[in-house]
Structure 1
Amino acid sequence: MASQYESDFYGWTLEQAGLLQTGNLDQLDTRNLLEEIRSMGNSERRELESRLEVLFMHLLKWQYQPAYRGRSWQLAIAEQRRKIVRRLARNPSLKSELADLTADVWGDALLSAARETGAEASDFPQKLPWSWEQLMDNAFFPDSHK
């Protein structure tokens, strides 16, 4: 027989919230509640990773395909910067993971940029060439690749 967690997740969340609110902690589904809390934290991290990947990819496209630069790319870069800043403001503990996150995401961004541009991933810098300050500076756009 399926538990409410498996058969009616929304109903389960309402029930768990009610139990917390009334202080009936002994009735909580702690195993699944812990899993959901961990999952929420991982979701925040994945969202930041996704935003960083899109930002990196667009900055690479901007640098390596100057003939295609346009308002759309500018706005995509600006949007990702805003969303990254907002995500970090809401989750300041993620700041301590930025060095690892950016290094991990860079490889994904290389593959995305290769897919988008038709270039090889090896044509791009293998390490992130921009500082965090540059990445978050709305006036920063990389120069053309020479």
Structure 2
Amino acid sequence: MSTYETDFYRWTHEQAAAIRAGRFNELDLQNIAEELESMGRSEKRALDSRLTVLLAHLLKWRHQPARRGKSWQLTIKGQRLAVVDVLDDNSGLAAKLPEILAHAYRRAVIDASSETGLDEELFAGDCPWTFDQIVDAGFFPE
């Protein structure tokens, strides 16, 4: 049994040391490949999660004008910055943006409906905004 299965922390340090020392024959390539793919999925999930929260708040902003407040505004602003940060750090995700945005919107509708008590049918079936609008600091849907 490798340290990958018994002591992940130690395994990561052993693998890093082997790479730095040029001892490539000691590398656990299969598990390294799995971990690299997992890191990519993690970044994709982070973007999806940030977009879901952002879109849910934009939906609430649009459909409940009487409840608009600083808290929603701060969440929208913070999530916009976080979305841009994830994309700045992971430009390869830009190619997946339409897919991620569609998925995040579907989840945002469920979240907004649950949080507001409004029927899911009230919200558009597809995201009504472009990505540029979604991350535009001055955009608050009416």
2: CA distance between counterparts of 1:122 and 1:62?
17
1: CA distance between counterparts of 2:98 and 2:124?
17
What runs of 5+ residues in structure 2 fail to find an aligned partner?
Answer: none
Which digits, 9 at most, give the CA deviation of each residue in 1:86-121, with x for residues without a partner? 110100011111111111211111101111111121
Give the SS at the match of 2:138: coil
2: CA distance between counterparts of 1:3 and 1:65?
55
Superposed CA RMSD in Å reads: 0.8
Which digits, 9 at most, give the CA deviation of each residue in 1:32-64, with x for residues without a partner? 111000000000000000000000000000011
Q: How many equivalent residue pairs?
A: 142
Residue 108 of structure 1 aligns with which residue? 107
Residue 51 of structure 2 aligns with which residue? 52
Question: Where does 1:76-91 land on structure 2 (aligned, <5 Å)?
Answer: 76-91=75-90
User: Percent same amino acid at aligned positions?
Assistant: 46
| TM-score normalised to structure 1 length | 0.94
Tell me the CA shift for residue 134 of structure 1.
1.0
Tell me the CA shift for residue 3 of structure 1.
2.3
Residue 36 of structure 2 aligns with which residue? 37
2: CA distance between counterparts of 1:55 and 1:73?
9
- Structure 1 residue ranges (4+ consecutive) displaced by more than 6 angstroms after TM superposition: none
Residue 133 of structure 1 aligns with which residue? 132
What runs of 5+ residues in structure 1 fail to find an aligned partner?
Answer: none
